[in-house]
Amino acid sequence: MGYLDFRDQVVVVTGASSGIGAAAAVGFAETGAAVALHYHQNEEGVRHTLGAVQTAGGTASLHQADLADPASAGKLIDDVLAKHGRIDVLVNNAGDLVKRTPVTDVPDEEFHRILDVNLTSVFAVSRKIVPVFRAQGGGSIINVTSIAGRNGGGGGSVVYATSKGAVSTFTRGLAKEVAPDGIRVNAISPGVIKTPFHDRHTGDEQMKAMIGTIPMGRTGTPHECVGTILFLASERMASYVTGQIIEVNGGQLMP
């Protein structure tokens, strides 16, 4: 058995329509896992991911949910269990900047939406899955935080950065809480990754300025995040790793 062998395992990837979530889903499929692909609104995108998973020789199911709604998040896990019978790995990838806005101009509704999309979603899905993992004797949760959680984010993204900082803290706290149950909780912290996220929210000049702070002199790709996710999910490779935030940022931040 290889170090990256996820045969007979079921992996839930939230936000699997594009970017890091889609790349992670394909990565798990290539290593033998059955993948439950979550999406919110981008059904076309998640069907593209499904096709890529099938091309990689894997199997997948599609699951729609608004993870900012805790009830919907709970139903997602119920639906995956009904379909696959078990869950071994959860990748909490769903999230969005929502909108770049200076703090003084952020309306209450936008503030709460950013927190719900990035933080409530992680909390709600994790709260639902911990009892499942306990009953199975273990499991792995990998959250996707951001370099913004450490450096405060780029222009107009203070609330987003705050939500991601909270995800990092939640990762460490939950890891302590569930370690006795054989459940590992870790996170990856991407830097500037070329995804639809930046296509929506980052202009050319801002992107150029960001790249100027990266020692490697370029943006990363979603695929360059996958190896770290697979490592953290692997019981053979990372059985003694929990509560860690691994930076994937081309040297932009070296804490």
Residue 158 lies in a domain: yes
SS3 249: coil
In which band, very low, low, confident or very high, does the pLDDT at 197 lie, cut at 50, 70 and 90? low
Distance, in Å, from the CA atom of 47 to the CA atom of 177, rounded to the nearest integer, reads 36
What pLDDT score does 192 carry?
94
Residue 196 lies in a domain: yes
What pLDDT score does 205 carry?
85
Q: Which residues of 87-116 are buried (b: 16+ CB within 10 A; e: fewer)?
A: bbbbbbbbbbbbebbeeeebeeeebebbbb
What pLDDT score does 154 carry?
86
What pLDDT score does 5 carry?
93
In which band, very low, low, confident or very high, does the pLDDT at 1 lie, cut at 50, 70 and 90? low
Mean pLDDT estimate for the chain = 95
List all residues 6 or more positions away from 173 whose beta carbon is below 8 Å from its beta carbon.
none
Residue 255 lies in a domain: no
What pLDDT score does 195 carry?
79
As a whole number of angstroms, the longest Cα–Cα distance in the chain is 55
Can you give the CATH number for the domain in which 20 is found?
3.40.50.720
Q: Which residues of 30-54 are buried (b: 16+ CB within 10 A; e: fewer)?
A: bbbbbbbbbbbeeeebbeebbebbe
Spot the catalytic one: 3, 39, 160, 240. 160
Catalytic annotation on 160? yes
Residue 145 lies in a domain: yes
Query: What is the share, in percent, of the chain residues with pLDDT greater than 90?
Result: 89
pTM listed for this prediction: 0.96
Is residue 199's pLDDT more than 90?
Answer: no
Provide the domain limits for residue 240.
10-248
Among candidates 120, 255, 140, which has minimal Cα distance to 191?
255
Residue 4 lies in a domain: no
Residue 2 lies in a domain: no
Averaged over 7-17, what is the pLDDT?
A: 97
In which band, very low, low, confident or very high, does the pLDDT at 157 lie, cut at 50, 70 and 90? very high
Residue 254 lies in a domain: no
Number of domains comprising the chain: 1
What pLDDT score does 198 carry?
66
Output Rg (C-alpha) for the chain, integer angstroms: 17
- The answer to whether 253 and 151 are in contact (CB under 8 A) is yes
Residue 91 lies in a domain: yes
What pLDDT score does 18 carry?
95
pLDDT in tens, 46-80: 999 999 999 999 999 999 999 999 999 999 999 99
